[in-house]
Amino acid sequence: MSKSCYICGKRKTVGGSITRKGLAKKQGGIGMHVVKNVKRTFKPNLQPARVREGSTTRRVQVCTACIRSGRVNKA
């Protein structure tokens, strides 16, 4: 099975998780300082679904956003 949505093509993306240390300026400190910047992946919420295509049905991975919006013709 693929790791992307069958309908919209949503797949995992790469971002960063920033760790900060210190007391914020508005709370009386000297500001937040970046300690670490770690790469991480954001994965889509894919669910298996049976989709009707014409006269046939097939099992595909579909994201929950497509299921909620009604872009999927469930079998």
Q: What confidence tens digit (pLDDT) does each residue in 60-74 have?
A: 999 999 999 999 988
In a domain, 74, yes or no: no
Short-list 44, 51, 61, CA closest to 6: 61
Q: For the chain, what is the mean pLDDT?
A: 93
- What is the DSSP code (8-state) at residue 25? G
Residue 51 located in a structural domain: yes
**For the chain, how are helix, strand and coil distributed in percent, rounded to 5?**
10, 50, 40
Residues 28-53 have pLDDT tens digits of 999 999 999 999 999 999 999 999 98
Domain contains 35? yes
Q: Residue 69: helix, strand or coil by DSSP?
A: helix
Grade residue 4 by pLDDT with cuts at 50, 70 and 90. Answer: very high
Asked whether residue 2 carries a pLDDT value surpassing 80, the answer given is: no
Mean pLDDT of 5-20: 95
Please count the structural domains in the chain. Answer: 1
Query: In terms of residue numbers, what domain contains 18?
Result: 13-69
> Residue 4 falls within a domain, yes or no?
no
Residues 22 and 29 sit within 8 Å (Cβ to Cβ): yes
Phi and psi, residue 20, nearest 5°: -115, 155
* Distance (Å, whole) CA 62 – CA 71: 10
What pLDDT, on a 0 to 100 scale, did the predictor assign at position 74? Answer: 86
Determine, yes or no, domain membership for 3.
no
Residue 1: per-residue pLDDT:
57
